[in-house]
Amino acid sequence: MERQFMKGCEAIAEAAIRAGCRFFSGYPITPQNEIPEYFSRRAPEIPGFVFRQGESEVASVNMVMGAAAGGARAMTSSSSPGVALKAEGLSYTAGSALPMVLVNVSRGGPGIGSIQPAQQDYWQATKALGSGGFRTLVFAPHTLQEAVDMMFSAFDYAERDNNPVVVLVDGCIGAMMEPVTLPDFVSDEQLAEIRKKRQNWTTTGFSRRDSGTMVEIGSGGGRINGGDPAFVEKAKEAGITWATGTEGNNKSMLDLQERWKVNDVAHEAYLLDDAEIVIASYGTAARVAKSAISVLRREGVKVGMLRPKLVNPFPTAAFAALDPAQVKHILDVEMSIPAQMVEDVEAAIRGTIPVSTCLRSGGTIISREEIVNAIKALL
């Protein structure tokens, strides 16, 4: 472990390198430019690392897909409208059951919007990252240390599921500086073992989406072409029932998403034991909300927070478990207008507790005072 004072984007990139990322392709866009810039500086120092600046976001994500198919731990990064341009490549990557990591350092929108921090990509990240109904695990750190830790483990999750993984931060986290404890490097021996485990599907085939039996198929096959007779036959031999064609692909994706709801939900329950008002928030907004809670607690206000660490899968059960006899109100705090995460909050509590919002957008960082005043208005 190594402790350093680092900028957010650079800490994220360094964590990826230490996790064994050996291919990066991206394209400049504020506020994530420091990620490719950092990779370009570090690439000559890391044996086997390949850095590419694509001619566009479209080219970049497809380069990453190719590198992943070749067995490399690969990633890309962008910001909001740039992620939208990567949507087709992400959908192809998911349809091909390939592991990759995407970092979105989000900014204001819609469209080109502003280059300042915002949380207006929640729907995009959790509901519609690309065509075809695929989804990904979406990590949402609220500190640089959390961003480093989540980034380091994102590659393991991507390889476990053979599916893209998203790390969703905003421009504030990308630009701020904090001390972080960096993880140790994944060793060359560990990387070699990872590549060895991939050898039965790299380039010419794909694996079943779980930790069980691997299903090897011939060239030209894959989950995107589940009707390949060789693929279906090998699946049957392994005891796997597959629908043919694209539907088989879709059903395996559904199975994966259902497993996430059981195994991968993560949230922080902050001062909830006696809370009569609960803030629902994530990322930078949750960071500010913690400061507001400190102010309000000193004034005797019983307020806490329920913070998703992953916004997909959403911690539905944790919100549903809030006791309406104790919790009088939920305040959804986001840097997005209209509110986006609030829809998941409301779906979870099913009308048992009133919900209000406290919002900023377009690059305006929500303030502690705004949250404090919103809570006092509820009182």
Out of 182, 214, 239, a domain closes at: 182
**233 — pLDDT class (breaks 50, 70, 90):** low
The verdict on residue 194 lying in a domain is no
Same domain, 166 and 19: yes
- On the question of pLDDT at 243 being above 60, the answer is no
Give the model's pLDDT for residue 196: 83
What b/e readout covers 147-169, taking b as 16+ CB neighbours within 10 angstroms?
bbbbbbbbbbbbbbbbbbbbbbb
Give the model's pLDDT for residue 250: 86
The verdict on residue 192 lying in a domain is no
Indicate which CATH number applies to the domain containing 14. 3.40.50.970
- Number of domain units in the chain: 3
Indicate which CATH number applies to the domain containing 307. 3.40.50.920
- On the question of pLDDT at 185 being above 70, the answer is yes
Out of 212, 230, 263, a domain closes at: 263
Percentage with pLDDT > 90 across the chain: 80
Q: Which domain holds residue 6?
A: 2-182
Give the model's pLDDT for residue 210: 43
Mean pLDDT of 181-205: 83
Q: What is the pLDDT of residues 350-375, one digit of tens each?
A: 999 999 999 999 999 999 999 999 99
The pTM is what?
Answer: 0.90
Same domain, 300 and 256: no
Q: What is the pLDDT of residues 83-102, one digit of tens each?
A: 999 999 999 999 988 999 99
Mean pLDDT of 306-325: 98
Same domain, 148 and 83: yes
Give the model's pLDDT for residue 195: 84
- On the question of pLDDT at 20 being above 90, the answer is yes
Same domain, 73 and 149: yes
Mean pLDDT of the chain: 90
**237 — pLDDT class (breaks 50, 70, 90):** low
C-alpha dist (Å) from residue 200 to 29, 92, 197, 241, 335: 37, 20, 7, 20, 44
Q: Which helix (H) or strand (E) holds 100?
A: strand 100-106
Same domain, 324 and 256: no
**302 — pLDDT class (breaks 50, 70, 90):** very high
Tell me the two tokens of residue 311. 């916004």
Mean pLDDT of 286-303: 98
Mean pLDDT of 170-193: 95
The verdict on residue 188 lying in a domain is no
Same domain, 92 and 132: yes
Q: Which long-range contacts (CB under 8 A, 24 or more apart) does 326-329 make?
A: 326/274, 326/275, 326/276, 327/275, 327/276, 327/277, 327/278, 327/353, 328/276, 328/277, 328/353, 328/354, 328/378, 329/276, 329/277, 329/278, 329/353, 329/354, 329/355, 329/356, 329/378
C-alpha dist (Å) from residue 315 to 170, 227, 309, 312: 21, 35, 9, 8
Secondary structure of residue 117 in the 3-state scheme: strand
Mean pLDDT of 63-82: 95
Q: What is the pLDDT of residues 33-56, one digit of tens each?
A: 999 999 999 999 999 999 999 999
Out of 182, 210, 232, a domain closes at: 182
Same domain, 61 and 176: yes
Same domain, 67 and 17: yes
- On the question of pLDDT at 132 being above 60, the answer is yes
**225 — pLDDT class (breaks 50, 70, 90):** very low
Secondary structure of residue 333 in the 3-state scheme: strand
- On the question of pLDDT at 184 being above 70, the answer is yes
The verdict on residue 325 lying in a domain is yes
Percentage with pLDDT > 70 across the chain: 88
Same domain, 26 and 102: yes
Same domain, 252 and 271: no
Same domain, 157 and 303: no
Same domain, 111 and 64: yes
- On the question of pLDDT at 242 being above 60, the answer is no
The verdict on residue 318 lying in a domain is yes
Give the model's pLDDT for residue 251: 86
**207 versus 170: which is more confidently predicted?**
170
How far apart CA 30 and CA 82 sit, in angstroms, is 10
The verdict on residue 189 lying in a domain is no
Mean pLDDT of 107-132: 95
The verdict on residue 190 lying in a domain is no
The verdict on residue 195 lying in a domain is no
